[in-house]
Structure 1
């Protein structure tokens, strides 16, 4: 890791020590640079946004998502490398389940993500198998532990996030708390519990977890604000694929207007060529 990348990674780690920061999710260099220009201190990737940009599906059970539709590790890491090299703020990578079940595979994925220029990354316990939607808790902890040991051997800053999808698959909050704490104990720097979107649930997580909490907002236009989440004790807030989905909503509306009406009102609110050139101009 070069000096600049190390400094970015350390800045990202420092963001997790106190306060509550917004970490919006990009899917390509252009979206990341727009988020950077808005003043965010760091950017994350969204596996959903990357998948959609490739015309593929995201985060589904294998029976509903054929293997050829899933974004593989090589493709995702290329995109991570492109985005990390295209912005001057730290990048955190959505690494899904680490692209394999074994702890050794997860450790390799995290090591390669660090080499690609990312300052952090998430590892989730969602399997994609409807018969066992979550990896066994002990195995999940071993996967986090293997990633942490690899990072420790490298000696470079990297924020490792342990994500549990208990709530997304209909499991109870107490299991989400237990799993998140297990991942923190195994070496995660931050816990991520998607599906926690109301004040009562988030307050419980903050109280019961032995480390900082990431929550994801924007999935349903949730009424809680950044200020609300700060007051609840959340450490960082991501938005998942919601910005990408909003962009595709506009694209679909424009396509339908053109196809159905032959009109062009969709263009009324577009960014100008000059504005985009200014946003993307290097230096």
Structure 2
């Protein structure tokens, strides 16, 4: 079992902050996070593209290549896999694994608000694991995220199929009620990943429920944009700039320490 796999079986949840470019990922790694993920919304938006539309394949690969030098396990959100062909997804995942990427998220939600056939995603998971047996495959199922009927039942059914196909963990974003999360932990025979929700359970409470991994998703990217607009408004309106911002030199040092 790799160190990254083992991190999903500790006494506390693996907190996975999600970055959108090299600087954000490097800053998180410098804070001591043992693993850093990417946020598909942040990656897409930073490139001027919509999320979950399958348009960020090249951007995602380029970012993964840059992040591979960081002293942290890197896991990459590949949306639906950037291909409808299982072997096409596996080929892309193999390129990431060859770079040293530790894991990927593959989702069954589609941009039209529907879920792909679970058999299809199971085939994708199986193809990826055959080609990249050491890559941590986090199978994401989106019934809660998309607000569909009977999300608990749908999530449990799909999680079983994805784990049987070889997935190493299951991600159920949008599940926030403690009772639902407890039921997911009880019903899923593998590490459960949930999305942190500031209005609901704390990290410690999620750990008490048995959650193995907690992702921040797009939260940090949205917080960054919020800080950007508030700071710009403060300059425009003659108000005080927030304190504690990194200096020019600190950011230069953050980047330069990872250069060849």
Give the structure-2-normalised TM-score: 0.91
**How far did residue 277 of structure 1 move?**
4.4
Instruction: Give 1:264 deviation, angstroms.
Output: 5.2
Where in structure 1 are there 5+ consecutive unaligned residues?
A: 1-8, 63-69
Alignment of 1:88-103 (within 5 A): 88-103=71-86
| 1:269 CA drift (Å) | 4.1
Q: 1:268 to 1:41 in 2, by over 3 A?
A: closer
User: Equivalent residues in 2 for 1:204-283 (5 A)?
Assistant: 204-218=183-197, 221-259=198-236, 261=237, 263=238, 265-282=240-257
Post-superposition offset of 1:52 = 2.1
1:186 CA drift (Å)? 0.5
> Which of 9, 14, 32 is residue 21 of structure 1 equivalent to?
14
**Alpha-carbon distance between aligned partners in 2 of 1:126 and 1:90, rounded to the nearest angstrom:** 25
The one-character-per-residue Cα deviations of 1:6-52 (angstroms, maximum 9, x if unpaired) are xxx92212212333211111111111111112121111111111112
Q: 1:138 aligns with which of 119, 126, 129?
A: 119
- Residue 66 (structure 2) aligns with: 82
In 2, distance between residues paired with 1:231 and 1:195?
18
Which consecutive unaligned segments of at least 5 residues does structure 2 have? none
* Aligned-pair CA distance for 1:72: 2.6
Which structure carries more helix by proportion?
A: 1
Q: Which residue of 1 aligns with 2:104?
A: 121
Are positions 1:52 and 2:29 aligned together? no
CA contact (8 A) 1:216 1:239 kept: yes
The verdict on how the C-alpha distance between 1:29 and 1:119 changes in structure 2, with shifts beyond 3 A counting, is: same
Query: How far off its partner does 1:254 sit?
Result: 2.5
Residue 251 of structure 1: CA displacement? Answer: 1.0
Q: Match of 1:67?
A: none
Cα distance between partner residues in 1 of 2:39 and 2:58 = 16
Change (3 A) 1:223 1:170: closer
- Relative to the length of structure 1, the TM-score reads 0.84
Deviations 1:133-154 (A, max 9, x none): 11111112111111111113xx
1-structure distance, mates of 2:255, 2:176: 34
> What's the C-alpha RMSD, in Å, of the aligned pairs?
2.0
2:51 match: secondary structure: coil
How far the C-alpha of 1:281 sits from its partner, in A, is: 4.8
Deviates more, 1:273-282 or 1:197-206: 273-282
Pairwise CA distance, 1:178: 0.6
Name which of structure 1's ranges 48-57 and 246-255 shifts more when overlaid on structure 2.
48-57
What is the distance in 1 between the residues matched to 2:101 and 2:15?
Answer: 17
